[in-house]
Amino acid sequence: MIDLDALAKRARRAAELGRLRVSSRIGLAVVPLVLVASLVGASAPAVVVAIGAVLLGLAVALGWWRSEGGRAARSGLMLGAIPMTAALLTVAIDGWCDPTRTVTRCGLGCLLAGLVAGGGSAWYAMRTAPPRRLATWTQVGLIASLTTALGCVGLGIGSALAVLAAVAAGSALVWIPARLRS
């Protein structure tokens, strides 16, 4: 005789392990981003690795929790890669950024990239079903912000916070008018 409770537990465990295995594939994107950020732009590679560990853990957890969370994590990685790349390029090009100046070309470029990433995260969330919009917006924005922080740490804490604020501002610039219309 087959114990149905034991069979149900085994099936549930197999399903959970399968979801975890599928969601952990996002590490194939996160780990190279962390490696590039720690090699190219970080004055403190340990901080980049710590941010990357949080990013990886959150992205895997979102994908394991819900399939929509996995899609939000992938979109957040793509959107956060825009300002991350801008920050890494500005750090990598010697002489382009003058850390003694308050406003530099690299800082303005990173802020603009942060606005684009934030606007993209809100735009993505507005395309989802109404009951999940706020959760999707939060998930995409959080993953995009952590991805952005990977590259911006090399610019210093002030610049990193400014770019993260630009991500939030760009997101609000798209989210608020769209919410008023719907």
Domain that holds residue 172: 4-181
Total number of domains constituting the chain: 1
Residue 106: predicted pLDDT = 64
Burial class (CB in 10 A: 0-12, 13-18, 19+), 111: buried
* Angstrom distance (rounded) from CA 50 to CA 148: 14
- The amino acid occupying position 170 is G
> Quick one: pLDDT band at residue 32, thresholds 50, 70, 90?
very high
Residue 103: predicted pLDDT = 56
Looking at residues 35-49, what average pLDDT do you find? Answer: 81
- What is residue 42's three-state secondary structure? coil
Residue 54: predicted pLDDT = 92
Q: Which residue has tokens 């070309």?
A: 105
Residue 104: predicted pLDDT = 61
